[in-house]
Chains A and B, each alone.
Chain A
Amino acid sequence: MNHSQKRKIKEGAIETILFLCALFSVFITLGIVFILSYESFGFFKEVSLKEFFTGTQWTPLFAEPKFGILPLIMGTLLTTGIALSVALPLGLLVAVYLSEFAPHKMREIIKPVLELLAAVPTVVYGYFALLFLTPILQRFIPDLSGFNALSPGIIMGIMIIPYVSSVSEDAMIAVPMHIREGSYAMGATKFQTAFKVIIPSAFSGIAAAFIIGISRAIGETMVVAIAAGGMPNLTANPLEPVQTLTAYIVQVSLGDAPHGTVEYKTIFAAGITLFFMTLGFNILGFWLRKRIREVY
């Protein structure tokens, strides 16, 4: 075998190895889908889909178990809703300010610092929600119970500001300069340009940022597990304790549910519900972001 042949074999082998590494990520997704479906298939053999999606009580650990997922979905939507009403307006304001108003130097410093908000361990945020924010809120809202949806919702909102702001800001910066200059030439102020020209032009990017925020909030676990309480509660009242899909999974995992029992399978049923909720948003966000790249 001569030198050139050896070289060819080596190159081919390396390419194959690298390809297998890249392909591995696909197997992670397949693994998630397979494991979640396999275990929840066992669950749905014992509990009908109708009971699962229309039942209003979730008490799988009681002597007389009830398997209606609605209270957990409601808890998830409630905390997510509170988080979004904090994160979306603030994230958008931050993005507009950083991309249109802030001096370059300031942006360079503030961006990485803001990103630290997303880097703080979520269990620390949970501590903060339970032992710092809830007592403060209780001073203003006497009805607020020690565990509630409001406080972790707000903290989650703060936590996802950087996700919302950095993707929206990227979309706004991608709007070409001549569009801004056209607006200034017509006598518009920076404020008018930002809200009437830049935001509409960067719309799909901003929408993608919002969707990333939503998906983060739905999947967030520790903040709600610590500060929202552990009672599945079909309510839209943010002052009451609630349980989310994620917090339920944590609760059961802590209690050591034996492999193969119905309790063990419920966490996979909750997990697959969660997975499909976030998957829908992720695909929508991916599609929207792909669209911004094509506009200009």
Chain B
Amino acid sequence: MKDLKKLIRYNKLWNYLFMIIGLLATMLGLILLCALMVDLAVDGAPRLSYKFLTSFPSRFPEEAGILSAWVGSFLLLLVTALAAIPLGIAAGIYLEEYGKKNWLTDIIEINIVNLAGVPSIVYGLLALGLFVYFLKFGESILTGGLTLALLILPMVIMATREAIRAIPNLIREASYALGATKWQTVQWHIIPYSTGGILTGIIIGLSRAIGETAPIITVGALTFIAFLPTSPISMDFPFVSFKWLMDPFTIMPIQMFNWVSRPQKEFQLNAAAAGIILMVMTLLMNGLAIYIRYRFRKKIKW
């Protein structure tokens, strides 16, 4: 009897010990995340100013800014979104609603899972061979944007599929029963009901695209750009110009990488300041994605 009580006490002790260890392990990641943000904030916050946002990079650290970098990031993201979103949603809809169970669909599915696991720098090499040299887009905003679009395409497809899968079959059957065709069902029911999930996936994909550095270095983005791309709006007819698509560019993470790799302390402080802005953008986008997911989950009850 005494032994049994001892055994129980011993087992319970281990149980409590593990609860503490598990909690600590879970918190460790969060603590590090906080340390990272505090470290960035301490180093970089003094450099943050309106001038930092509106100056070009410079040889003098205290005059350098990120104007060309954030404009480049923004334009790149625009191209990425325009290319990846329609393609990804269309592919997701096909696989969930139209795809028949055959070998071709199987191959497409396995392929998408595999693409999601391909290192980002390999996409950079693909883009270097395909966009820069084969299609002759050069080291342009178009090339960079399309590279990131390829990279986040699997994420958009998977998010779309997951969102569509959550819609119960009775919705489809009700629509067919009223005489709707497949596309009408998709257009009026499937797409509207899965908007929340799809939007969440898109935002998370774009937030990943904004921080991606390696593939864009590989396609040959420059690290020192002291001018802006051609303005998309002009005074002369036809008022809209797409010349900016072919302009050379730099982006936020590359600017930060360039500053980190310099030995001078002053440049590293600039890197921290650029890092703060990158982090804030990523966190805002992820926060928005979580909020949207939460809102839609609350709103729709099947």
> Which residues of the partner chain B approach A249 to less than 8 Å between Cβ atoms?
121, 124-125, 214, 218
Determine chain B's interface SS by DSSP, over half rule.
helix
| Distance (whole angstroms) from the CB of A224 to the closest CB of chain B | 10
Q: Does A189 contact B (CB under 8 A)?
A: yes
Q: Does A22 contact B (CB under 8 A)?
A: yes
Q: Does B300 contact A (CB under 8 A)?
A: no
> Which residues of the partner chain A approach B112 to less than 8 Å between Cβ atoms?
25
Q: Does A1 contact B (CB under 8 A)?
A: no
Q: How many residues of B contact A (CB 8 A)?
A: 86
Query: In the complex, A39→B14 CA distance in Å?
Result: 57
Q: Does A23 contact B (CB under 8 A)?
A: yes
Whether A191 contacts B15 by the Cβ 8 Å rule is yes
Query: In the complex, A250→B258 CA distance in Å?
Result: 12
- Which of B94, B107, B133: most chain A Cβ within 10 A? B94
Show 11 residue pairs from A and B whose CB-CB distance is below 8 angstroms, ordered by the A residue.
Answer: A26-B107, A101-B18, A123-B275, A124-B275, A127-B256, A127-B260, A192-B14, A215-B117, A250-B121, A271-B125, A279-B114
Q: How many residues of A contact B (CB 8 A)?
A: 86
Q: Does A56 contact B (CB under 8 A)?
A: no
Residues of B within 8 A of A (CB): 11-12, 14-15, 18-19, 21-23, 25-26, 28-30, 32-33, 35-36, 39-40, 43, 86-87, 90-91, 93-95, 98-99, 107-108, 110-115, 117-126, 128-130, 133, 150, 153-154, 157, 181-183, 204, 207-208, 210-214, 217-218, 220, 223, 253, 256-257, 260-261, 268, 271-272, 275, 278-279, 282-283, 286, 290
Chain A positions 28-81 with a Cβ under 8 Å from a chain B Cβ? 28-29, 31-32, 35-36, 38-39
| Distance (whole angstroms) from the CB of A114 to the closest CB of chain B | 6
Contact of A17 with B90 at beta-carbon distance under 8 Å, contacts A97-B26, A123-B213, A215-B117 already known: yes
Q: Does A150 contact B (CB under 8 A)?
A: no
Select one of A127, A130, A218, A250 contacting B218, CB under 8 A.
Answer: A250
Determine chain A's interface SS by DSSP, over half rule.
helix
Chain A positions 79-110 with a Cβ under 8 Å from a chain B Cβ? 90, 93-94, 96-98, 101-102, 110
Contact of A97 with B114 at beta-carbon distance under 8 Å, contacts A11-B182, A121-B279, A274-B122 already known: no
Query: In the complex, A126→B39 CA distance in Å?
Result: 13
Whether A28 contacts B119 by the Cβ 8 Å rule is no
Residues of A within 8 A of B (CB): 7, 10-11, 14-15, 17-19, 21-26, 28-29, 31-32, 35-36, 38-39, 90, 93-94, 96-98, 101-102, 110, 112-117, 119-128, 130-132, 158, 161-162, 189-192, 194, 212, 215, 218-222, 225-226, 246, 249-250, 253-254, 256, 259, 267-268, 271, 274-275, 278-279, 281-283, 285-286
